[in-house]
Each structure stands twice: as C-alpha cells, then as structure tokens.
Structure 1
Amino acid sequence: MKALLFAAGKGTRLKPFTDQHPKALAMVNGKTLLQRNIEFLKSFGIKDFVINIHHFGQQIIDILKENDNFGVSVEISDEREELLETGGGLLFAKSFLEHEKDFLIMNVDILTDLNITDLIEYHLQHNNFITLAVSDRQSSRKLLFDQEMLLQGWENKQTGAQKLVEGATHLQELAFSGIHCVSSDIFSKIKRKGKFSIMDEYLDMMHYERIVGFLHQAQLIDVGKPESINIAENIFQ
C-alpha cells in the first residue's frame, strides 16, 4: 500500500524551530520526524511514498536526496505555491494515488507504535471506504462513533460545536490519531476544491459512505509543540 505523508504544514506550534525549517525536520533523539515515519512505515512493508511539501519544502527535498530517500521510493507533491490543508493536499496529490485501490495517509508530526499491518488488514477485510485510527485520549476535538464504530459525528469540546448524523444517539467520543486508510474512490466523491480540511469531507461522506473507526491503544505523540519533543524522546528511542 502506498503512503501519503502530510508534511506541508507551517508547524506554527513548533516555533521558533519552524521559523527556519519545516516541522518534518524536527529532531527526536537524533532523527527527524520525516526519517522516523518513513522508517516506521517501511518496517511494515510500505516502500512507496508521496510526500507533500510547502513550508521550507526544499529542505525536505534536499534531505531526501542526501539520504537516498531512506531506502524507499518517494514522489513529491509540491504545494509550495499554495498551502492547501489536508483535503486540498490530498486532492492535489490525486495523480500519485488515483491508480491505487487503497492508500494510507499519515501526518508527519505523529509518532506512534501503532501496528500498521493490523490497521490495513482491518480496512481491507471490512471493505471500508475510510478507516480512521482512533483512541480514547484527551483532545479538544472528538469524533463520534456508534456501537459498530461507524462515524456518526464530530464535536469541538471547547466550543460545543457539533456535526451529527440525524438521529444518532449513544455515541462514543474518540480522538483521531492522524492515520487513515482511504479508498481511491474518494477522488470521485470529494466536493470541495482549493484549500480545505479532509475531515470536513469525511463528515459529509459519513452520511452515505462506510467510514469506520479503528480503536487502538498504541502509544501516540503529536509532536506539535517544543515540549512534546521531550515527551517523545522519552518514548521513542
């Protein structure tokens, strides 16, 4: 399965590092997030990658070249003209992914020991349209699932804003892990254009597509703030 690594974001929470570098090159115990996640996915047999770039994107291109792509095949989805967010970034990378039956998406600033093989097998065996890795952890935004783990809604815990499937009740709140398996049929279903969040599309699609949560208890760190690097270094050697 081919993997799309989202590495284009400005990483504003990681300032001052991201004043001069992309967040993908933040270091955890001597390795960049980019290298760690390429090697992590490679350990599960993933050898074909699409990496989107924007903020200091040339630095990502350079480090890949210097390290022979860390032993995998890499295609660059170049968003340096305009940052398109996750949904726009996925749509922009369509030419690299549309011929795959399914593909994996992962945010480059996530570090985890999630068993990716289990996630992929669950996605394929259940013929899911989209499979979202989720866990029961603290988050300001929660995805809402029914007893069969079908996506039924979303809630912002700080503002109380919600999006729900009509009539949905007795829902469990889980946090998205930034890792998802996606059918390439998504490209014919996306309604938005330009800059948009893929989660907004998912929340529209949940009314008619099989979008399922894969509940896990793996360790997961969102390396979005300088203090989270220290936490990650205590977990990921």
Structure 2
Amino acid sequence: MAQTTSGLVSTRNGIKTCDLSQVFATSGADGMELYALPTWHPVRWIFIKRALLLIDLFQRIPRPESLMEMGFGCGILVPELVSKTDRYVGIDIHSHTGEIEEALSQQIGLVDLRYGDANNLEFDDNSLDCIFSMSVMEHIAEIEGAVENVARVLKPGGHFIVGFPIENFVSNAFLDMIKLMIGFDRKVHHPTNHHQILAALGLHLEPFHERPFPFSGSVAFSLYYTGIWRKPEN
C-alpha cells in the first residue's frame, strides 16, 4: 500500500490520515496497531480497504456543508474528513478527546472533537448534512435508538455514510484471527450484528447506495458493508 508523508499528515492510497506516531489507541476495540502491520498482511489490507470504500462514497453525494463523524477513535480519518466539508465535528465515547484533539491540532490545525454518545446526540434536529460512521454501529447495543438519533439530527435529504462488518463464518474467522493478534473479542465488542443494524436503518432512513465488500451484489457472503442512507425529504 502506497504511503507518503507531508509534515505530520500521511497519505495512504490517496486518503489523508493522521500521523499514527502522534496518536494512540483509545480503547481495546480501536485496532490502530493493525494499520502498522506489513503492507502484505491481509488484516491491514482489509482495514484500509473499508476506509477507501467509505471515503469513495462521498463522490455520490453533494459536498456537505456540515459533517459529523460518529466514532472518531484515534482520529485516523479526521484529516480526510475535514477536507470533505466546511464544518467538521467528531464525537466519541472514550475519555481521550482532549488528547486526540491536541495531537491533531499539531497536524491539521484546530479541529472540533467532543465527547458524545450515539444514543444522545447533542445536536439540533435537522441540523447536519452528513454523518459518517466507520465500524461503530456494531459496538452499539441500543442500535435502534442510535439510528433514530441519526435520523433526528440529519437535515431532510441528509446522508448517513456507514460501514460495519457482516456476520458470517468467513468474517467471524477473520475477527477471530484479530482476537489472536490484539485480544479483540467480537463476542464482547460487537453486541449488534449487521441484520439488526440494517433493520434499524430501514425504520428511519431510506437506502441511497449500498456496496458490500468484496461481493457488491451480496450482503450475505461479503465481509463488510458500506452504504449511504438518506433521510426522507418529508
């Protein structure tokens, strides 16, 4: 995987990412160290591929004036997401918001990061053009409430760009391999599966574009779901 560095911002396959040497994993589910695996490693390849697919979805929607990242983690995608909008804000439930914000400010300038819970989004109704979430929904037990909140704060016609793992025997084997590498236990960290997430999304939003990976025509046999969901105009 091609990687270049300019100042403290790295570019991986055309995506701006934070300099991982300047930040840290914010929880046992962060997986930041997996980005540092050798370029040939399949785990690293899949971790990068999911980000590439999600970022590519921005080409399918108008440039959002406002963008909220739900679950910024260590901040790896913040530099890229900041470039996609006029007003970026990131939320996460971990206790390291200030430290990540300070580290990123040295790389890309001031950035708005906040403590925030998906089930209690502190944004006005109909206030955001776009919400972005990579590998967060599967960690949320009360998934219907989270999606209801997403729909509440999106403007009519606003977009939710979302990615999460698909549960099947292949993806479970992949996640079990990650458990051996970093102690990540899908049974502990993933209380919600893709069936429940998709059902919740369908209650409050409408599908706009879906791209499971690696089989774009099949969710059941893929490893990872990426898609855009849209808030109805009325």
Asked if TM exceeds 0.5, the reply is no
Structure with greater proportional helix content: 2
TM-score by length of 1: 0.30
TM-score by length of 2: 0.31
Query: Which structure is richer in relative contact order (CA contacts within 8 A, separation 6 or more)?
Result: 1
